Structure 1
Amino acid sequence: MDAVTTPSAAASVVPAPAAVTGGGKLRLLIVTLVVVALAEFIGPAQFQAGPGKVVLLPMLWALLMAAAWGAAHNQLPAVVRIDRGLQGLAGGLLNAALLLFVVKLSLTVGGALPLVMKAGWALFFQEFGHAFGTLALGLPLALILGIKREAVGSTFSVGREGNIAIIGEKYGMASAEGRGVLAEYITGTVLGALFIAVLAGFIASLNIFDPRSLAMGAGVGSGSLMAAALGTITAQLPPHMVEEVTAIAAASNLLTMVVGFYFTLFLSLPACSWLYYKLEPVLGRLTARGRQAQEEAAPDAGSALSHAHGFTLGDSLLAWVLMTGGVIIANAVSYKVSPLASLEGMLVIVAIVAAITALKRLIPRLPLVITLAMAATAIGIPGLFPFTATVLELTGKLNFLAFTTPVLALAGFSVAKDLPLFRRLGWRIVVVSLAATAGTFLGATLIAEFFH
């Protein structure tokens, strides 16, 4: 994850991680691939929950195993230990690995652009559900539970890196709003993928929403959260619908990443702050005891993000190798695709990422993710380039879910270092953060359903 630091980060309550060596990086690579293989061999599981069912996919096993592996690093032999330094590196590798994930999604969008365009106005208006769903569901709950200005930071968005930057610029990370958005960030990172996967799978199993509406709801602006939600949705669809639903979810996620930043900056954050002052006198019931509990639970602002790692070009290459290996393993174990076919497709994706990354070095102000997504989408549009058909043929052999397992394995190692801080945040802010995540998914789904 991209680190957003403040001066207070220097006073972090945890010691700085030791420098990561070449041997440590190799260990992280091997252990992550082992986790991916174990998760894929376990395979999917599902069980009934009332009128619906819960679907648990390999990516969730990878997240849980990696988090547990990282948290228990002091009890493990050195040869397999993923210590805090490597956990910090995993966060940086996750960013670089997600670039490959973005390309796969964007190629899907380009290849299915006619299907995406059929979504029409639904794709635009559902963004209001993403922007306001978090505060509509999360803010009243936060005030009822006695949370004050932390509620603004934790409910105006799903609290990803761009949202942290907005709060840091407007209020400062040492503010109550800063503590709130940090809590949302940690909750979403630790529990978000698991929570939204269970929620999306359960809602999909009820068969009350059009799958296209659910796909738009899944595009919350976070690659890992979208992957988790979309995975459990597509697992319950007939094969002929998966491509269309995946393309719509990717387009929604891209729209939320690009336009959503401005929605949160100019619409949802001002609305959340205004509603707080209107609703707090009515719903707020923060007692002296509750205030003391909040102060004790409040983390040092930026401490969870103070593990910034000096990321190099070599680290990016490591991330691409790790992601390539993970996709090959997942594609072979779960989808019976030959490793050679997967390797050919991954080399195409890595080449696209490498080209745009090189362009970014020449033009530092170039927005990397947006440029990468736009370029890959254009490459995927049938007939636009003479090589498009070959690119789509090679990358089409890469199953979408094969990308999610190594991504969430890295996410699991990355969040392991923040688990002690996460425990200090208290159950109320966790409940509120999950409610905000549910709100953005349900809000966008409901608006999209109106058009369908």
Structure 2
Amino acid sequence: MTHSLSPGAAAPSAPGLGAVTAFAKFRLFAVTLAVVALAEAIGPLQFKLGPGRVVLMPMMWSLLMAAALGIASRRLPRPLSVGPGLQALATGLLNAGLLLFVVKLGLTVGVALPKVRAAGWALLFQEFGHALGTLALGLPLALLLGLKREAVGATFSVGREGNIAIISEKYGMDSPEGRGVLAEYITGTVLGALFIAILAGFLSSLHVFDPRSLAMGAGVGSGSLMAAAVGAILAQHPAEHAADITAIAAASNLLTSVAGFYFTLFLSLPLCSWLYGKLEPVLGRLSPRQAATGSASLGAAVLPAHGLSGADTMLGWAVVGAGVLVGNRLSYQVPVLVSLEGVLAVVALVAACHLAKRLLPRLPLLLMLSIAATLAGVPGLFPFSDALVALADKLNFMTFTTPVLALAGFSVAKDLPIFRQLGWRIVVVSLTATAGTFLGATLIAECFH
């Protein structure tokens, strides 16, 4: 299922969105920026948990605070209230605002292509383990535990920011797949580092795998998860191997960050959806309970980015763009006017692809935007490439995640009953998917060592 409109078709109307006034939209804009500012002001917080360390970044505070505001909306004064109608709108704005994140990711990919090319065959082939390991272990378990389409979102990847963007564009965040990937993201953020540290440390202690293979397995595409896994691996090997293990893990993590987006977009997500159709009729019958399959009872429907009105689409860009300005200023001390140049450059590329979408309506917007941003980021490929990359480099990558996760937090509030119904099962499935990507890449890399 994809959210696409035929040429000339009117955007569908979502229940409840038409009643959202301009003042209410401004209130949502202001509340979202306040959440972003507070999250960035709190900053990262880390604490020890058993043998590992958990790090809560501003994006996680943003998600939690927005979810809390949404849940408590009926008890809050009107200026702070984000009720069901605004929560539905926030999810639509999220779908639009995520496109700015995709541009930043694509430009980063383009700049890094020369480094990836020098990484070698082992790093290339182990990426298949990262791409397919999640669904190989996670999908069957999810179906046995009674999850439905949430299983696709939770097991096609490890649920990082780029994966959220893929699901948002293809299915929308107000979908079972959207809830699945968001639950995977939350679980991975809170428990992922601790879990992968324990797993990597245990496998290292067995001395079955070459440490270089384990290092490649550690590059799951998340800096925090990679750091946790590498720390556990280093603890089991002589100090003289530390530099090599760290370098290999960093290269693997870079490749997963760069190529993993395209692997999940073109390989693991279509394959996961296809396998779901084949396995669910068999494994689903073995489940002792059934998962929720929709959110019709929860309130308003949500429009994908290209189903929003033009004004609301630009509002989504404005919310995320303004959030980036706030985060860049508070956390990285970049002057607002300097950051504004980068934000405008990113928005210009998004707007150009939106216009191109009208000429090529059958081409998925996410695919078009990803390719355009990646090519534009290759040094010297176009006359404007270096200037565009220089402008985007003024924007820290992490500042895009804070406003995006704030909007996602309102979606969590709206779908809280379904998250409650998924309960512990989604946590188990998410951690299993994380184990799958680590083990899959490690096993493939071991074939080269």
Give the TM interval when normalised to the shorter protein: 0.7 to 0.9
Residue in structure 2 matched with residue 363 of structure 1 by the alignment: 360
Structure 1 residue 123 displacement after superposition: 3.8
Tell me the TM-score normalised to structure 1 length. Answer: 0.75
How far apart in 2 are the matches of 1:415 and 1:344? 32
On the 8 A contact 1:37/1:329 being kept in 2, the answer is: yes
- What are the residue-to-residue correspondences of 1:46-445 with 2, within 5 Å? 46-121=46-121, 122-137=123-138, 139-140=140-141, 143=144, 147=146, 157=156, 185-189=178-182, 191-202=183-194, 203=196, 213-215=217-219, 217-218=220-221, 229-230=222-223, 233=226, 245=253, 248-266=256-274, 268-269=275-276, 272-273=279-280, 276=283, 290-291=288-289, 294=290, 298=292, 302-303=296-297, 307-309=301-303, 311-423=308-420, 425-427=421-423, 429-445=425-441
SS of alignment partner, residue 82 of structure 1: coil
How far apart in 2 are the matches of 1:166 and 1:37? 30
On the 8 A contact 1:129/1:447 being kept in 2, the answer is: no
Residue in structure 2 matched with residue 28 of structure 1 by the alignment: 28
Cα gap change, 1:3 to 1:387, in 2 (>3 Å):
closer
How far apart in 2 are the matches of 1:382 and 1:433? 40
Q: Residues 17-74 of structure 1: CA distance to partner in whole angstroms, max 9, x if unpaired?
A: 6721111111111111100010011110111222221111110000000001011110
SS of alignment partner, residue 46 of structure 1: strand
On the 8 A contact 2:97/2:316 being kept in 1, the answer is: yes
On the 8 A contact 2:100/2:350 being kept in 1, the answer is: yes
- Structure 2 residues not aligned, in runs of 5+: 5-14, 205-212, 232-242
What amino acid is the match of 2:128? Answer: E
What amino acid is the match of 1:88? Answer: A
SS of alignment partner, residue 319 of structure 1: helix
How far apart in 2 are the matches of 1:52 and 1:101? 30
Cα gap change, 1:80 to 1:256, in 2 (>3 Å):
same
Q: Residues 174-214 of structure 1: CA distance to partner in whole angstroms, max 9, x if unpaired?
A: xxxxxxx966642432x322211234433369686766644
Cα gap change, 1:210 to 1:340, in 2 (>3 Å):
farther
On the 8 A contact 2:110/2:374 being kept in 1, the answer is: yes
Cα gap change, 1:106 to 1:314, in 2 (>3 Å):
same
What amino acid is the match of 2:276? Answer: L
Tell me the TM-score normalised to structure 2 length. Answer: 0.75
Q: Residues 78-129 of structure 1: CA distance to partner in whole angstroms, max 9, x if unpaired?
A: 1121111111111111111111111111111111111122345434553354
On the 8 A contact 2:152/2:180 being kept in 1, the answer is: no
SS of alignment partner, residue 46 of structure 2: strand
Q: Report the number of matched residues.
A: 400
Residue in structure 2 matched with residue 446 of structure 1 by the alignment: 442
Q: Residues 274-315 of structure 1: CA distance to partner in whole angstroms, max 9, x if unpaired?
A: 9839xx8xxx5x6xxx55xx4xx6455655685224611111
On the 8 A contact 2:295/2:415 being kept in 1, the answer is: no
Q: CA RMSD in A?
A: 4.0
Residue in structure 2 matched with residue 222 of structure 1 by the alignment: none
Structure 1 residue 389 displacement after superposition: 1.5
Cα gap change, 1:39 to 1:210, in 2 (>3 Å):
farther
How far apart in 1 are the matches of 2:276 and 2:218? 25
- Structure 1 residues not aligned, in runs of 5+: 5-14, 168-180, 219-228
What amino acid is the match of 1:108? Answer: T
Q: Residues 318-356 of structure 1: CA distance to partner in whole angstroms, max 9, x if unpaired?
A: 111111111111111111111111111111111111101
Cα gap change, 1:164 to 1:271, in 2 (>3 Å):
farther
How far apart in 1 are the matches of 2:170 and 2:97? 24
Structure 1 residue 138 displacement after superposition: 5.1
Cα gap change, 1:54 to 1:164, in 2 (>3 Å):
closer
Q: Which moved more, 1:308-317 or 1:79-88?
A: 308-317
